[in-house]
């Protein structure tokens, strides 16, 4: 290995002494990804001149079975551009009460687009009941905003929306004339988990999911391990609209190819390996099971929630401080969240299990 490559490697591993289970967004580019970024051909993407951006857009559109795709700075920007390309001022979209594109994106669709969200309570698995959607659709009457879009999120809190539900949802929304948007920030985690369960290919499963939607947003900066970026996919006509909205939203980037090359590398090398994150998460859940006061929610992908109940509930703050001191990072005080990703390994997870067991004398 030459000195540049070894210093890149060192940088990648520099902080790995800590076991960072806060989020799959904390990954740093691997040596291979850095090499792909350094070699990337670039141009001015506002003129559509960046070959690496164009290649990424073609690749993700093809992988998800859409005509076209657009590289976005963030998932938030991607959802915003998606909603504003489906909806006009005075329109509304139906969305889960706890969905990211309603609750966690600063109300962007309302703020920037004058598009009204109609939030609905989600089922425990993250789905929206079709009967709830039906009763939320407004009649064509001047009293009401015009309902013309519905959004789902997959994975939802690390859970995979059942394919049978997606199929029914898709037919129903289509029949009602609603545009169907998927916030698929962790879409590939869903596809990989679904494929593992069925013994099929994640590349086939991902299309089964996406074909239920008119537009899909997917993040490269989460489990796929790229430093930044998302893609919005849809028809050519839809993406042409989104291109205009993205410019308005300040997302017309110039030599973005360096980042697109990282995302492209992630699509080539980091999709199938998501299964390792899921296995590691199952190992963590298993390692924590049986500790009194810890209620473990069975993980389906790379996210685990652990509720502190009974006597353990009062120990949340102390546990968090103890974990931090022992070099383990996670989030939540009573409902702990752990996320596995490219930058944690079995040894790190075993260390986390050991420290938590020791804290509870279990």
Closest residue to ligand PLP in the complex (CB): 75
Q: In whole angstroms, how close is the CB of 151 to ligand PLP at the nearest point?
A: 10
115, 93 contact by CB (below 8 A):
yes
- Residue 153 is a binding residue for ligand PLP (CB under 6 A): yes
**Tokens, residue 37:** 């970024």
Q: Which of 56, 69, 75, 128 binds ligand PLP (CB under 6 A)?
A: 75
Q: What is the C-alpha to C-alpha distance for residues 34 and 72, in angstroms, rounded to an integer?
A: 20
State the Cα–Cα distance between residues 351 and 329, nearest whole angstrom: 12
- The 100-139 contact track toward ligand PLP, x by CB under 6 A, reads x---------------------------------------
> Is the distance from CB of 187 to CB of 158 less than 8 angstroms?
no
Query: Binding to ligand PLP by residue 76, rule CB under 6 A?
Result: yes
Give the nearest distance from C-beta 76 to ligand PLP in angstroms: 3
Residue pair 159/304 in contact (Cβ under 8 Å)? The answer is: no
Count of CA atoms in the C-beta half-sphere (13 A) of 280? 23
Q: By CB under 6 A, tell whether 74 contacts ligand PLP.
A: yes
Q: Could you tell me which stretch among 5-13, 47-55, 73-81, 106-114 binds ligand PLP (CB under 6 A)? A: 73-81
Instruction: Say whether residue 277 binds ligand PLP (CB under 6 A).
Output: no
Determine the 3-state secondary structure of 266 from DSSP: helix
Residues numbered 194-233 forming contacts with ligand PLP, rule: CB under 6 A: 219, 221, 230
Integer Rg of the chain from CA: 21
Q: What is the Cα–Cα distance from 133 to 173, expressed in whole angstroms?
A: 9
Does 185 sit near ligand PLP (CB under 6 A)? yes
* Total residues at interface with ligand PLP (CB under 6 A): 11
52 touching ligand PLP, by CB under 6 A: no
CB atoms within 10 A of CB 275: 17
Tell me how far, at minimum, the Cβ of 83 lies from ligand PLP, in Å: 12
- Residue 255 is a binding residue for ligand PLP (CB under 6 A): no
Residue 306, token pair as written in the block: 């652990």
Q: Which of 162, 263, 273 is nearest to 209 (CA)?
A: 162
CB-nearer residue toward ligand PLP: 63 or 99: 99
Question: How many Cα neighbours within 13 Å face the side chain of 167?
Answer: 6
Which C-beta is closer to ligand PLP: that of 8 or that of 126? 126
Binding site for ligand PLP (CB under 6 A): 74-76, 79, 100, 153, 183, 185, 219, 221, 230
């Amino acid at each position: 290995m030459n000195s540049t490559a070894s210093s890149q490697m060192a940088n990648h591993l520099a902080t790995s002494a800590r076991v960072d289970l806060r989020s799959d967004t904390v990954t740093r580019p691997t040596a291979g990804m850095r090499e792909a970024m350094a070699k990337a051909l670039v141009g001015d993407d506002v003129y559509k001149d960046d070959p690496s951006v164009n290649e990424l857009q073609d690749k993700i559109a093809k992988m998800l079975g859409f005509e076209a795709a657009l590289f976005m700075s963030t998932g938030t920007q991607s959802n915003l551009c998606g909603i504003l390309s489906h909806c006009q001022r005075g329109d509304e979209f139906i969305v889960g009460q706890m969905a990211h594109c309603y609750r966690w994106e600063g109300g962007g669709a309302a703020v920037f687009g004058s598009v009204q969200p109609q939030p609905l309570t989600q089922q425990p698995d993250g789905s929206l009941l079709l009967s709830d959607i039906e009763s939320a659709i407004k009649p064509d009457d001047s009293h009401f905003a015009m309902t013309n879009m519905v959004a789902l999120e997959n994975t939802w809190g690390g859970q995979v929306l059942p394919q049978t539900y997606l199929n029914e949802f898709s037919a129903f929304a289509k029949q009602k004339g609603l545009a169907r948007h998927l916030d698929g920030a962790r879409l590939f985690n869903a596809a990989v988990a679904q494929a593992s369960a069925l013994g099929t290919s994640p590349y086939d499963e991902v299309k089964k999911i996406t074909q239920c939607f008119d537009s899909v947003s997917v993040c490269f900066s989460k489990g796929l391990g790229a430093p930044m970026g998302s893609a919005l996919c849809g028809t050519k006509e839809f993406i042409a609209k989104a291109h205009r909205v993205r410019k308005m939203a300040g997302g017309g980037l110039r030599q973005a190819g360096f980042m697109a090359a990282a995302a492209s590398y992630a699509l080539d090398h980091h999709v199938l390996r998501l299964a390792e994150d899921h296995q590691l998460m199952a190992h963590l859940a298993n390692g924590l099971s049986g500790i009194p006061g810890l209620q473990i929610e069975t993980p389906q992908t790379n996210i685990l929630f652990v509720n502190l109940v009974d006597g353990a509930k009062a120990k949340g703050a102390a546990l968090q401080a103890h974990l931090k001191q022992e070099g383990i990072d996670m989030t939540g005080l009573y409902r702990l969240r752990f996320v596995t990703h490219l930058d944690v390994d079995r040894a790190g997870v075993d260390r986390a299990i050991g420290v938590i067991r020791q804290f509870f004398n279990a």
